[in-house]
Structure 1
Amino acid sequence: MTTVSFSKFSDLALDENLHRALEKMNFIEPTPIQQQTIEQLLLGRDVLGCAQTGTGKTGAFGIPLIQFLLTNPDKKALILAPTRELADQINRTLQQMAFFSYDLKIALIIGGASQGQQVRALTQGARIVVATPGRLIDLLGQRKISLGNVGVLVLDEVDRMLDMGFAPQLQQIVPHLPAERQCMLFSATFPPEISKIAESYLRNPVRVKVGETNTAADTIEQKMIQTQQDSKQHLLLKELPSMPGKMIVFVRTQHGTERLAKVVRAAGYRADRLHGGRTQVQRKRALDNFRKGEVQILVATDIAGRGIDIDDIEVVINYDMPKTHEDYIHRIGRTGRYGRKGVA
């Protein structure tokens, strides 16, 4: 159990530029996961953190990571995430945290985007690498990246990495890192396989568990409407006028996502779709437009169930049911974030 001794970010002995960035981001008081992990990480401890999505995990590892790099100018940090969307979200948050730390450059290493640009970012001295495992292994194989001076390793949403079959890639990547490093592992759920990974990669970690990790946040009101398969589309269109805010509608297949997005648009709604069959540029544009409010309804497969950290999503609709309880928790966790109310 960790002891809690800071109640405001201004209490922490952080670099002045990091304090300025946190103020600009309106980071005043820590969330529970931040309160229980940040001081331990600042002391150099390894951490195994288990918390629901939307609890501030990126801040929990991002703040100590940036502080470490500012005080160790010869070191780098590597953050691995399961999906391009989550990697991009982490990159955005860290860019804000490093806003006044002009020498801290970040490279986003993900599939579906220009490898040349990514290599350029690395050669121009990026000290934070946010990556998905596949593209990172490509660059390691081509000797375009060296991980020899990585002082901090972050594995985010490890449960999702395992679901997506990335365990062999992790085993390929980790030997490229120095044995002397700090490691942070975060997961929303805690299946037994994660204990094995923790034993392999973490040294005497501080274990932090915040809230019930396999249950929905209290801020989410859950409803169920009974219907037949062939009536779902009609029922959805009937319900939409009563839901004016931003919304994600989850569909099982790429084809189903395309079809439903077309139906919703034809009914006069600003809608777009997000699934693995679209290019990285298309996926990014859809998310950016959704974030800015130019798109109200995002029809998505489970690829969007992880890592989309948009504060003002008011409704999540499970048009098709998810495969597992964990997927359900992750899907509806797109709403009711950071204490706001939401409906699923």
Structure 2
Amino acid sequence: MKGSPLKRFDDLSLPEELQAALSRIGFIEPTPIQQKAIPAMLEGRDLMACAATGSGKTGAYLIPMLATLLQDQKAQGLVLVPTRELAMQISDFLRTIVPNKQTFNTACLVGGQDIRRQFKQLQRKPRVIIATPGRMIDHLKRNTIQIHKVNQLVLDEGDRMIDMGFAPQLQQILKHLPPEKQASFFTATLDEKVKSLAKQYLQRPVLVFLNDSKPVAKIKQSVLSVPFFEKDDRVVDELNERQGSVIIFVKTKHRTDKLTKHLIDFGFAAGAIHGGKTQGQRNKAIDAFRTGKVRILCATDVAARGIDVPHVEHVLNFDLPMQDEDYVHRIGRTARNGAEGEALSFVMPEEYSDWNRIAKKYDIPGPAFEVQGRGGNSKFKGRGKGKPSFGRKPSFKAKFRKNSDESFEDRPRRKRFEDSDRPKRFGKKERFEDRPSRDRFGDSDRPKSFGRKDRFEDQDRPRSFKKDRFDDRPQRDRSDSSDRPKRFAKKDRFEDRPSRGGRSGDSSRSEFKPGRGGGKKASGSSGKPRRSNNDDSWGRKSERRDGAPSRKKSASGGGGKGRPLKVKSGFGKKKSFGRSRPSQ
């Protein structure tokens, strides 16, 4: 196998179940990356592969991993990816080539989904786990997953994980993995950061490089110079001229929603996907785009490495990517699996230098922009015009040095008020000397309102001071001749008040209703009165003669405000507690 390249999957010594599954989905001839990666992984060696997107990297590591797991029932595989969409895409492809879905369980652990469902997947002891670093750390902290028996490890899109800041999470996951394992590292771009991360996971790996991570040759790339305020109208013109599915990559989430609404207003079937949407909304938008319900999909870079739709014919870069490596992943959404595609990029005049750097790095054919001067005097050899330049303006310092001898010395001074009749406004000493003073009530009969002593000397208005304030006011007649009863007398408060019926012994009523505490009815018709009319126990502040408070509650449920307490004694007689009746 080392001497001759792999031409057909039948030439590999794969399990029969796996071979039948590959034939069922149409996997007959391997791609170039699969020809070099699969034999090395079947030999049990670590692998580091660099290939463009859409070259078949997913099958390059899943096929040998399944072959190993089917032969060893105790083996377990782990695949780490940067985005949710890519994890779900790998999980769907894995289910298509799994020979027996009932006995071979898999788990997909990503954020934005119900974690309880993931608990159930982990309880089934999955053979292959596909996860994002963030959700994997979450399960490790909850102690709901054990990865100390994983002997097949794959890091897909390793460069993207570094760009998204997953390096610390990967270091933490590495501590839970066993030292003896087979690891594979797949990436679309290769730089020093990616190499340093790969060295921590790989031991004497086999290096596989295809096209030096350049874009697929079957992608027709073009560029168009467009000012910012003309982008919305120009994208409508380009979509009208093209047929088939289109993915438009935008820089920000807000701009993505705004562009989607703009296209819908013009009658296009468009959808949006970005990090601000929920996982359900993102899945719904991708499914609608994959099934053809939506022709145009506006997306941020979150979709640059997770959308595998074979019928994507055009990729439009509405905004240039923030990182040069994302350009390869963006246009890699088209021309997948040997198909053809086209990519168009909108470049603003202030982005000419950025485009020249990307074109030089990835050998993009076509004319280059000419960037001149600080003001952006850029000319494009082809379509579009650059911003006009007005040349470099001399600084104030240089201009001052040139005219330093005669800048302010020979300049005539301005005569402000020498020959004018206009009064001087800025004199300090004589500012208000010649101004006539305002006569405040000098010859007027109006009384002076600011004097204190003579304020009311010449007026008949009475003085409103404390002693004489109510002297002249007629007093209220509070004599005893009034027929109105006195309200505030304490002793005679209830003297004239008629006695309450049913309280005295002369009353014909033999029973009375319970008081506030819900006491029992009095037995017999000759019951003693509870209080006399002259009893002052109704007052809130009244006290007993011995100093105890008058409010008490009876043990039998009766009593109330100022009422005596009655408790049955052991011989059936009632004893009265409380203060005694006042003597008549």
TM-score grouping bracket, smaller chain normalisation: over 0.9
* Residues in 2 aligned to 1:340 and 1:9: alpha-carbon distance in whole angstroms: 21
Deviation at residue 333 of structure 1 after TM alignment:
0.8
Deviation at residue 246 of structure 1 after TM alignment:
0.8
Deviation at residue 284 of structure 1 after TM alignment:
1.0
**How is 1:311-322 mapped onto 2 (pairs within 5 angstroms)?**
311-322=310-321
* Residues in 2 aligned to 1:267 and 1:95: alpha-carbon distance in whole angstroms: 40
The amino acid across from 2:137 in the alignment is: I
Deviation at residue 172 of structure 1 after TM alignment:
0.3
**How is 1:240-279 mapped onto 2 (pairs within 5 angstroms)?**
240-279=239-278
The amino acid across from 1:204 in the alignment is: R
Aligned twin of 1:152: 152
The amino acid across from 1:33 in the alignment is: I
Q: Which runs of 4+ in 1 moved over 6 A?
A: none
Q: Secondary structure at the match of 2:125?
A: coil
Between 1:282-291 and 1:29-38, the stretch displaced more is 282-291
Q: Secondary structure at the match of 1:334?
A: coil
Deviation at residue 16 of structure 1 after TM alignment:
1.1
* Residues in 2 aligned to 1:18 and 1:180: alpha-carbon distance in whole angstroms: 26
C-alpha contact 1:18 1:101 (8 A) present in aligned 2: no
The amino acid across from 2:325 in the alignment is: E
The amino acid across from 2:216 in the alignment is: A
Aligned twin of 1:196: 196
C-alpha contact 1:108 1:129 (8 A) present in aligned 2: yes
* Residues in 2 aligned to 1:42 and 1:94: alpha-carbon distance in whole angstroms: 18
Aligned twin of 2:70: 70
Deviation at residue 3 of structure 1 after TM alignment:
4.8
**How is 1:79-158 mapped onto 2 (pairs within 5 angstroms)?**
79-100=79-100, 102-158=102-158
Superposed CA RMSD: 1.1
C-alpha contact 2:95 2:101 (8 A) present in aligned 1: no
Deviation at residue 307 of structure 1 after TM alignment:
2.4
C-alpha contact 1:246 1:313 (8 A) present in aligned 2: yes
Count how many residue pairs are aligned between Structure 1 and Structure 2: 342
The amino acid across from 1:17 in the alignment is: E
Deviation at residue 101 of structure 1 after TM alignment:
5.4
**How is 1:162-177 mapped onto 2 (pairs within 5 angstroms)?**
162-177=162-177
C-alpha contact 1:82 1:132 (8 A) present in aligned 2: yes
Q: Secondary structure at the match of 1:323?
A: coil
Q: Deviations over 1:245-274 (max 9, x none)?
A: 111001111000011111111211111101
* Residues in 2 aligned to 1:70 and 1:90: alpha-carbon distance in whole angstroms: 18
* Residues in 1 aligned to 2:101 and 2:281: alpha-carbon distance in whole angstroms: 31
Deviation at residue 84 of structure 1 after TM alignment:
0.5
* Residues in 1 aligned to 2:165 and 2:309: alpha-carbon distance in whole angstroms: 26
Deviation at residue 5 of structure 1 after TM alignment:
3.4
Aligned twin of 2:17: 17
The amino acid across from 1:130 in the alignment is: I
* Residues in 2 aligned to 1:120 and 1:102: alpha-carbon distance in whole angstroms: 15
The amino acid across from 1:209 in the alignment is: F
Q: Deviations over 1:272-315 (max 9, x none)?
A: 10100000111111111111111111000010111212111100
* Residues in 1 aligned to 2:212 and 2:295: alpha-carbon distance in whole angstroms: 30
Aligned twin of 2:40: 40
- Distance change in 2, residues 1:17/1:102 (3 Å): farther
Aligned twin of 1:231: 230
* Residues in 1 aligned to 2:209 and 2:101: alpha-carbon distance in whole angstroms: 31
Aligned twin of 1:300: 299
Report whether the alignment pairs 1:183 with 2:183: yes
C-alpha contact 1:246 1:315 (8 A) present in aligned 2: yes
* Residues in 2 aligned to 1:194 and 1:126: alpha-carbon distance in whole angstroms: 29
Look at both structures and tell me which one has the larger radius of gyration over its CA atoms: 2
C-alpha contact 1:65 1:77 (8 A) present in aligned 2: yes
C-alpha contact 1:290 1:296 (8 A) present in aligned 2: yes
What is the TM-score when the length of structure 2 is the normalising length?
0.58
Deviation at residue 324 of structure 1 after TM alignment:
2.2
What is the TM-score when the length of structure 1 is the normalising length?
0.97
* Residues in 2 aligned to 1:132 and 1:46: alpha-carbon distance in whole angstroms: 21
What are the ranges of 5 or more consecutive residues in structure 2 without an aligned counterpart? 344-584
* Residues in 1 aligned to 2:337 and 2:33: alpha-carbon distance in whole angstroms: 12
* Residues in 2 aligned to 1:5 and 1:340: alpha-carbon distance in whole angstroms: 23
